[in-house]
Structure 1
Amino acid sequence: MPTSKIVSILSLLAFTTLLACGQETEPTPAASGVTLTIQGLSLEQIDRVVVTAQPSGVSATLTRTPPNQFFQGTLSLPEGQYVLSVEAFTADPSQPAVASGSANVTVTAGATSAVMIYMLDPAPDPGQQTLEPIIKSLTASKANPMTGEAITLTSDVVHPTGAAITYAWSSNCASGVFGDASAATTTWTSSTAGTCILTLTASVADKSATASVTVTVQPSPGTVNTGATYVPRPYITRLTMSHFSGGTTYNGVVTRGAPGSQTPGNFPPMPALKKMQFQIETNEGWVNKLLVTCNGTSTYATSTTQTCGNTTCFANFFFNSALPGSVCVLTATSSREYPGGALTDTFSAGVRVQ
């Protein structure tokens, strides 16, 4: 098993009882010395624990005899000041310590001292998926330019964390030329008449967002009433489910992660035969629905309220949970309608009824 899999679930404490050489106390594994006990999670994955006393350099390997939940061993130390260092290892000799800690201790003749050593997980911060930039607007200074006439393309793009954004403009018309294809605001000119789609791709690391504007280049003076409206695709970011009544409390949240991320995709088990409250949090989605499918039977949940800001909507629903033992899929749908169609996003999460 890789080290990262083990480290992520370790949370160890070392409890140390210090005895000066020659002192006797009950119970101990030996008549004198230092008795250590390591208590923690995933004990079956830990093969041994090594404790070392400095400056003497004396060390001992602690072992565990199942079903005992503790690692134990003994060090014989003269009285004085020591630094106890503790490291936990797996059975794989090629792996480094999966947890470690240290503490300053004093061994005093005729007295018993205790020290707690926190063994810290050395795994780095796992991080999260990159956030894509948000294109707030994209406009062209003129929708019907003449051939050879330059128009100005202006974009307003932001990133939720303020990261630097890279811009790339493209066109489906080979005759079109951008003044600066890597700038947020640029110019564009075409030597040939026709309808052209000018697309901006805004990127941060491995994530990008695109928006387009359509212009119609005229071969000669005239007027054509042409317009372009950007219809953003809805994006469901989070599903929340709760229940509060009759002494039963339930709260569940599923947050959307990028494909391949380790973000959990199912709700925790929910109570049976309860009125459940459900909320869809979506960007750019003004029509929202919730489909509840349990054991092959599907019904739409009842919509209650919907609150929308400039770009974000919170749509609320309620439904009655199924019988115990059922397995359900909760499918949220968010749509942004436009004349002739709609852009739709769906996001599903599973749940077991208990």
Structure 2
Amino acid sequence: MSLVLCAALLPVGGCAQHGDPLDAGEADGSRLGIARLSVQAAPTTAGDITRVTVTVLSGPEAELARDPDGNFSGTLLLPEGSHQLVGNAFVGDQLVGTSAPASVEIQGGAATQAILRILDLAEAHDIEHSPIVLGLTYPLSTVVNQPAQLSISAVDLDDDALAVEWTSDCADGVFSAPTAFVTDFTKPAAGTCEVSVSVTDGELSASETFSIMIFEESQAQGAVIIDGRFIARPEMRLTLQWPDASCFVNSYLADGTCQEPITAPGRVELLLRVEWGDSSPGPVEVTDSCGGAITYTGLSYYHRYDWQPPTAQAACSITARSTNGDGLSGLLSAAVLVRPEQAE
């Protein structure tokens, strides 16, 4: 990264502030100009900038002061003529950035601006990375006093040395090698233990947790692992589109009535989106309550239908029903008013 230092070099009387010498000069009669300096503070790879200096190669140096905004500013008195400026940035006492010399020309009655690029000298470094667990093996069950072998494999992309620690929430559970990548776990009494393993590079870590069931050796016991899923009814969204307007309803709306009437005769497109959840798709049906004609036109993202409303005025209910592979049905309807076209 780089810091950009803008130095506005102002001759006497050009833009002087309170405290600036308004009519200063050297013994040889040359006039002095004011180099008004500022640099925006910016973080570097070594930390936040705490100090900035600007040095004129012919001698003078300015220690810039931090302003209320966290930036740095200051002034230099320079004779008219050509000068070279070098900017330096520090974090504490550490020099973290410096610029190449930049030439500036101080002229009476004119303002000169120079831009210094203070380059970050701190060595580039990447962020740390936690270990990655490649594999974990363990039995789901064992019997009392029977060692259960546990193993974990991991890698650290920073090539840091890895350390392992196995722990359990069973006070009587024992690991043969609690800090090894492969260990045996033994428990003298029946029960279920939650086992945790942590792999660390000294700063960052990765961990895994699992359960082991321990049975009495003399009893013919078994265990079943249950994975329960809630199968919901299909969820639907029904959209009606006609030349003048559109309307959509879904299961979460409080009102399923379309506010705009449909003018008959006319064609209405019905778009039905069905979410099947954890079940398999099943049959879908769309009907109306007022004697119109519904034609299925195909399936893409939506189930698509053409609906020809009745020609007489009617309050119609367009109803969609979908049934998943588990036999659960979803029901959704839209209410809409159909009006005959007014003769001109």
Question: Per the shorter chain, which TM-score range?
Answer: 0.3 to 0.5
Q: Which has the larger radius of gyration?
A: 2
